[in-house]
Structure 1
């Protein structure tokens, strides 16, 4: 018997960024910027595009599911037996962007992956904030 969707858990991280959604979107979708905060990849913001994220610990296989600039980006995230979906939601605020990242699909027997993701995404979001802040210096393309 397979578990139903209610058996899964999600990691949710939220941040208030003092940058416009367009700037945050650039960091989320331009592969040379993604390398600075996430991993090396052959990402393209096109629905159906399959790409790999590569790190020293291995590879993550992904497929783009949603591209709604500059509001929503989602892709599958498959690695080490985990089949999940990462969704980025950007909401413009008076002072910048409210950013929400959700990785959903952790099964009941994937506690180690779940707790690892909770810690890992915190560090990744710290890196993302730095990349977006550095974009402040450049002209928006």
Structure 2
């Protein structure tokens, strides 16, 4: 059996691109969930500020300072909650991306073992090509799916 590195690289490129694109789709769902949670929290802060704070603006002397205090408190609360949602989403996205690269490598390892070429130059090149293509496929899908922060 003749192992051609270029043939393996071509196959690995396609596998990496597809796995990367699939990972980006899953990540987009995670980021949409994060954005929805932050949007809901921002709405709650605004409604709280205007609704609750509006009760105090009726009172002379203390009304305006009370409104400002409520504004500051809801702003600080919203920053903390947004940071928490951001951190949770990024942690999940990082874990999922690592798992996707691992799954891609496992597929190529399995193919190499089946071909009796485990550890060969073709096998190692294919894993490197798949990882690069995984990143490319992921970024291409992101470009199509969303404008990222």
* TM-score (norm: length of structure 1): 0.29
The structure with the greater share of residues assigned to helix is 2
The structure with the greater share of residues assigned to strand is 1
